[in-house]
Amino acid sequence: MSTATETIESLVKQEYKYGFVTDVESESAPPGLNEDIIRLISTKKKEPAWLTDWRLKAYRHWLTMAEPKWQFVKYPKIDFQDITYYSAPKQKTDGPKSLDEVDPKLLETYEKLGIPLRERGRLAGVAVDAVFDSVSVGTTYRAQLMEKGIIFCSFSEAVQDHPELVKKYLGSVVPYTDNYYATLNSAVFTDGSFCYIPKGVRCPMELSTYFRINAAKSGQFERTLIVADEGASVSYLEGCTAPMRDENQLHAAVVELVALDNAEIKYSTVQNWYPGDENGKGGIYNFVTKRGMCKGKNSRITWTQVETGSAITWKYPSCILLGDNSKGEFYSVAVVNNMQQADTGTKMIHIGKNTSSTIVSKGISAGRGQNSYRGLVEIRKSAANARNFSQCDSMLIGAKCGAHTFPYIEVKNTSSSVEHEASTSKIGEDQIFYCNARGIATQDAVNMIVNGFCKEVFKELPMEFAVEAQKLLGVSLEGSVG
Amino acid sequence: MSKQPILEIKNLSAGVEGKQILKGVSLTINEGEVHAVMGPNGSGKSTLAAVLAGRDGYDISGGEVIYQGKDLLELDPEERAREGVFLAFQYPVEIPGVNSTYFLKAALNEVRKHHGQPELDAMEFLTLVRERMKLLELKDDLLKRSVNEGFSGGEKKRAEIFQMAVLEPKLAILDETDSGLDIDALKVVSTGVNKLRRPDNAQLVITHYQRLLNFIIPDYVHVLVDGRIVKSGGKELALELEAKGYDWILKSQTVPA
């Protein structure tokens, strides 16, 4: 092995910066899963009967399902009876009415993560819903958003304050029977974010949810629902971190997006869950179902994801293109290092006429990581003149990692066109030496080459997060190149 | 005033994977001089360039290289570059997604930082770039493209010399810069190189063919055969070599230089 390779490998060894634990008194349900636990969650959240029933139906359906085995990842069997399904920081009152009543330790936690919630120091132009373990601890800029009729609050509050909207759209994109983990989520979901943009309103600021897992042995099952009414538009960002723990923790979330006529939703994720240590001990299992429905004509949904964390990532943010002329887009950077595994991609289901979709996936594998792109482009008979363009590029860093591509294409009419391009490259020592020979040190060269590789995706991220994502990528790959 | 040496190669031996390629090369390059190293395929020309630039994977088994009073072989490749050693690559690599201007600005600022100079901002850099572009008759759009990506062979070589024009190295090593160029491109590239020639810098031109030396006129020509410099002379040596071929040298030379 040459010295450049060694340098590159030593670069990847960087500690996870967000691995601290907040010492906060919490209220947890006993571990295990049964109908009583589900009723307990529902009661705790003062939910209406229809929602309790929905959860129970999901649970009963889940009992009939088998864990999926087709994904290209390996992990020991999960003991679902060993997981805590409800954990919330203890509150003196019924729930904080405003951020002033929130436990200062929680506010400090978010400050440490770079997400200040207090009035002073809040992120300018970004409204944040902060979810800690199973509950939302606060949402910023709510009043300003309300002036435009925009509802942005925790899922639990939405159930109380806007039950008609929740009832109408919950499960309309991801039904409770959808898949093993989505069904589990439907039974036990605890909180999440809810967002409704009324007709013709362009959301004036970025909305974001920041997920933090803290409690040990707890699972996180949040549910996000975003509805953009006719002519509305919104850009939404999700961020995630977790403490470093030796055991694996399950994160099984569901995100549903609904775009009506002429509406636009841009959903960006910068996922930085704890990935486990370099020997693969610990880390989050991120088994998430994300799907958007372009329900109305000319609607548009864009998924942009930068996945650097998790021991295992297993998710396929998808678009159902129902409305005529609707557009679905998926831009993804997935990085695996050390022992991380990712099986991620998208599904584009073309149903309406003249629908179009774009898929740009960039997979980076380092260490002993395994990275798979799995995607489906389905063009139904009704989708006349549908178009798809897919591009899947993989970059390998070192000799012990892997990149895999599983594209599925189903076309049921003759007027559509589908293009698929794929490439695999290795960060060459030639490229690094070329940079060295121009005075650029190896670490900077690697960052430059990797960022160049991901450029098409980063340009889709909101400006401030693109910078963050670039930095994150640098950190994730520090010590990894080979 | 006597000329200061920029580079002194003393009895340099180097190889790769146990195979000896350079077998005791000695060469001194002074300020203001242009030296050409010529040789047949496999003679060790590119190895010499790679070892001087600090490429990985070569074993230095003997000799030393002094660059401006420093032990060059002790420096990392990026340190050599910052100290003013520039290698124009025979095969410049493509770096997809990395903008050429961004790349070059990063490179120049590394050199400036190394010399304690303030970094150039985008505007200052652009002014410099526009001025230097004229030397190479480059099109503006080249700067907007990714480093070498989709460049023709000629564009790549021109882009190398353009980088050299911006970085203003003390010692430029041109590794087979003529390969793959048609005569018009060769003229443009050579003209660029000649304009960069100054009394306080030096150039080491490595080539297989004499034709490049019609345009870049060297002060000295060295013939490298089987890892040794077997003959050195003035620019006329290149013409003689062109006329008689490398065999002539091999036959006439019985004792290694």
Q: Do B78 and A455 touch (CB under 8 A)?
A: no
Q: Identify any residues that bridge with B223 across adjacent strands, giving them in sequence order.
A: B38, B231
CA distance B86 to chain A (A): 7
| pLDDT for the residue A86 | 78
Distance linking the first and last C-alpha atoms of chain B: 29
Q: Is B15 helix (H, G, I), strand (E, B) or coil?
A: strand
Residue B247 covered by a domain: yes
Q: Give the number of other Cβ atoms within 10 Å of residue B196's Cβ.
A: 17
Task: Count structural domains, chain B.
Answer: 1
Q: Is 50 exceeded by the pLDDT of residue A93?
A: no
Asked whether the beta carbons of residue A434 and residue B103 sit closer than 8 angstroms, the reply is no
Interval B172-189: pLDDT, tens: 999 999 888 888 889 988
* Whole-structure pTM value: 0.79
* Predicted confidence (pLDDT) at residue B118 exceeds the cutoff of 60: yes
CA atoms within 13 A on the CB side of A420: 11
**Do the Cβ atoms of B95 and A449 come within 8 Å?**
yes
A8 to chain B nearest CA, in Å?
Answer: 13
When pLDDT is averaged across residues A9-28 and rounded to a whole number, the result is 59
For B138-190, give the DSSP string.
Answer: --THHHHSEETTT--HHHHHHHHHHHHHHH--SEEEEESTTTT--HHHHHHHH
B241 located within any domain? yes
Say what percent of chain B tops pLDDT 90.
63
In the chain, the amino acid numbered B238 is: A
Q: Using beta carbons and an 8 Å cutoff, which residues of A are at the interface with B?
A: 2-4, 428-431, 433-442, 444, 448-449, 451-456
Q: Which residue has the higher pLDDT, B139 or B22?
A: B22
Q: Among the listed ranges A309-318, A432-441, B90-99, which one has the minimum average pLDDT value? A: A309-318
Which member of B55, B97, B107 has the closest CB to residue A438? B107
Minimum-distance CB partner of A433 among B77, B98, B107: B77
For residue A364, pLDDT beyond 80: yes
Which residue has tokens 């030379």?
B253
Q: Which of A145-159, A265-279, B109-123, B207-221 has the lowest mean pLDDT?
A: A265-279
Q: Rounded CA gap, B108 and B118, in Å?
A: 11
Could you tell me how many CB contacts below 8 A there are between chain A and chain B? Answer: 76
pLDDT digits (tens, 9 = 90+) for A184-233: 999 999 888 899 999 999 998 888 887 776 666 677 888 999 999 999 99
Whether A59 and A187 have beta carbons less than 8 Å apart is answered as: yes
What is the mean pLDDT of the segment spanning A172-195? 92
CATH number at residue B107: 3.40.50.300
Own/partner pairs for A169-172, CB < 8 Å, 24+ apart?
A: A169/A225, A169/A227, A169/A256, A169/A258, A170/A54, A170/A223, A170/A225, A170/A256, A171/A54, A171/A256, A172/A256, A172/A258, A172/A293
Q: Flag whether residue B215 sits within 8 Å of chain A, measured between CB atoms.
A: no
Contacts A429 to B, Cβ<8 Å: 56
Judged by CB atoms closer than 8 Å, whether chains meet at B95 and A452 is answered as yes
Chain B residues touching A428 at Cβ < 8 A: 93
For helices B122-136 and B100-114, the axis angle rounded to 10 degrees is 110
**Quick check: is B179 in a domain?**
yes
Q: Name the region of A217 (left: φ>0; alpha: ψ -120 to 50; beta: rest).
A: left
CB of B201 within 8 Å of a chain A CB? The answer is no
Whether B237 maps to a domain, the answer reads: yes
Cβ-based neighbour number of residue B182 at 10 Å: 9
CA distance A21 to B257: 71
Smallest Cα distance from A5 to chain B, Å: 10
User: Which domain covers residue B97, as residue numbers?
Assistant: 5-252
Given this model, what pLDDT does residue B153 score?
Answer: 86
Residue B257 falls inside a structural domain: no
The span from the CA of A27 to the CA of B148, in Å, is 59
Closest CA to B54 of B32, B83, B28: B83
Mean pLDDT of A100-126: 64
B194 vs B206: CA distance, rounded Å:
15
The minimum CA-CA distance between A4 and chain B, rounded to whole Å, is 7
- Cα separations (Å) of B73 from A12, B7, B8? 27, 12, 12
pLDDT of amino acid A11:
40
Binary contact (B98, A439; C-beta < 8 A) = no
Contacts of B80 in chain A (CB under 8 A): 437
Residue A116 sits at φ, ψ, to 5 deg, of: -65, 135
Q: Is A324 exposed, middle or buried (0-12, 13-18, 19+ CB in 10 A)?
A: buried
